[in-house]
Amino acid sequence: RAPAAGDMLPKPRSRGRPSSQADRDGGRGGDSRAARSAVAEEAPSTSRGAGGSQDPRRSSSQGGRPADAPLAVGPRSQKQLELKVAELVQFLLIKDQRKIPIKRADIVKHVLGDYRDLFPDLLHRAAERLQYVFGYRLVELEPKSNTYILINSLEPVEEDAELRGDQGTPTTGLLMIVLGLIFMKGNAVKETEVWDFLRRLGVYPTKKHLIFGDPKKLLTEDFVRQRYLEYRRIPHTDPVDYELQWGPRTHLETSKMKVLKFVAKVHNQDPKDWPAQYCEALAEEEDRARPQASAPSQAS
């Protein structure tokens, strides 16, 4: 029969699959398939992929699991936990691709579901996998914020850019320039000053830019949402002015020294040519090298 579109919906396994596949795979007899679907049913499911976990091809290795294994609210098997961690790792990777910080509430809603009581343990295991397998550190954006981002623990290398599939984002250039400006000007800069500076580079708040698109939106909305920048209104200013500072993601992903080196390179000079900034950058490096008791770091 022609399958209805509904068949393709990721449904809970209890709805049953098309019956004709029972004899397709010699290894799956009727009984073992029933057992397997029962087993698959209580496997954790994401709210999006409501079909629950499709049994991985290694169904043979699940042979040891009893067909009457308890439902998800009871004790969970190693396999179920492993699968949950796998889903969580994928969720974090996909979400971080868009550079939007990931909220604990979203993790619980979209991935953990009934497993929400295991959040700390599962997140910790996911963090360990992310670091070991992919080289990403899972970091809480600010202490107690329950919001997370991934930091690359591998140093990006120039040639990486040529081999990437997604071309990174061209807007990174603009971000780097603004981060440099903010640092060189004492870690905070008025929005009006930023545009005065960018105008000289042909970037205007009101004019569409060939590479950056809408620069005003980028600086005051997109980069802020991604937590690269902070955009605060300066009180008692008339006309209203805003102040731009580094956001928490910037502090986590880069350093004053790295940004200073970038600025120096652009001017074809040495970082030491700016003694005040150089000292400040050094101090930050020393600060970071010192192990801190209250350092906000890995989710634990």
Partner 1 sequence: MQGSSRRTGTMTDVHRRFLQLLMTHGVLEEWEVKRLQKHCYKVHDCNAPVEKLEDFIHNINSVLESLYIEIKKGVTEDDGRPIYALVNLATTAISKMASDFAENELDLFRKALELIIDSETGFASSTNILNVVDQLKGKKMRKKEAEQVLQKFVQNKWLIEKEGEFTLHTRAILEMEQHIRETYPDAVKICNICHGLLIQGQSCETCGIRMHLPCVAKYFQSNSEPRCPNCNDYWPHEIPEVFDPEKERGAGLSKPSRKSLRPRQL
* Residues at the contact surface with partner 1, assessed by CB under 8 A: 1-3, 5, 7-8, 10, 17-18, 20-21, 24, 46, 48-49, 51-54, 56-58, 60-61, 82-83, 85-87, 89-91, 93-95, 129, 132-136, 152, 154, 156-168, 170, 172-173, 175-176, 228, 250, 253-254, 262, 266
Cα–Cα distance measured from residue 250 to residue 254, given in angstroms and rounded to the nearest whole number:
6
Minimum gap (Å) between residue 275 Cβ and partner 1? 24
Minimum gap (Å) between residue 249 Cβ and partner 1? 9
* Contact call for residues 183 and 259 (beta carbons, < 8 A): yes
Minimum gap (Å) between residue 252 Cβ and partner 1? 10
6/235 with CB nearer partner 1: 6
**Phi (first) and psi of residue 20, to 5 degrees:** -70, -5
Minimum gap (Å) between residue 294 Cβ and partner 1? 25
69/83 with CB nearer partner 1: 83
> For residue 71, what are the contacts with CB-CB under 8 A and spacing of at least 6?
42
Count the Cβ atoms, other than its own, within 10 Å of residue 128. Answer: 14
Count the Cβ atoms, other than its own, within 10 Å of residue 60. Answer: 9
Identify any residues that bridge with 234 across adjacent strands, giving them in sequence order.
241
143/168 with CB nearer partner 1: 168
Minimum gap (Å) between residue 172 Cβ and partner 1? 5
Q: Is 117 helix (H, G, I), strand (E, B) or coil?
A: helix
